[in-house]
């Protein structure tokens, strides 16, 4: 997979220092921020999620740190989530090939998205 990243400004661009430097994930090495884009096609509609390197990572680190203090009670952290968020119970089923797949599919069903509307639930970790 190729890294797609932001393009630095030209040296002669008249910009505030903070704006010019935001393009870089590491100013000292001049490593530019990557861009993560995912397209999801559901119910004959395509949705795109775009995230710039670092901002999400910072938020994710905060949530992963906080979840320890609430003993995994993610519902207590919903207010800290970027955008809209919800939680769901995920009891284990012996018939599942992928852990918690049924619970995830039930969440999508409640949103009006049937299993036939998409291909498969994938475990990302």
What burial letters (b/e) apply to 54-74, b meaning 16+ CB within 10 Å?
eeeeeeeeeeeeeeeeeeeee
Instruction: Provide the whole-model pTM.
Output: 0.43
What pLDDT, on the 0 to 100 scale, is given for residue 80? 73
**Residues in contact with 73: Cβ distance below 8 Å, sequence separation at least 6, in sequence order:** 67
What pLDDT, on the 0 to 100 scale, is given for residue 64? 80
What pLDDT, on the 0 to 100 scale, is given for residue 120? 47
125 residues of the chain, pLDDT tens digit each: 566 788 999 988 899 999 999 888 888 888 888 887 777 777 777 777 777 776 576 677 787 888 888 887 877 887 777 666 777 776 667 776 666 677 777 777 877 877 677 654 444 43
């Amino acid at each position: 997979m190729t890294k797609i990243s932001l393009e630095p400004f030209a040296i002669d661009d008249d910009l505030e220092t903070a704006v010019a430097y935001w393009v870089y994930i590491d100013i000292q090495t001049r490593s530019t921020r990557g861009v993560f884009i995912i397209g999801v096609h559901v119910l004959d509609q395509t949705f795109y999620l775009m995230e710039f390197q670092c901002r999400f990572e910072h938020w994710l680190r905060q949530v992963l740190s906080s979840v320890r203090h609430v003993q995994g009670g993610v519902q207590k952290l919903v207010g800290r989530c970027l955008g809209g968020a919800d939680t769901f119970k995920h009891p284990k089923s012996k018939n599942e090939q992928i852990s918690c797949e049924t619970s995830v599919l039930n969440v999508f069903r409640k949103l009006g998205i049937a299993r036939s509307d998409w291909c498969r639930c994938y475990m990302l970790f």
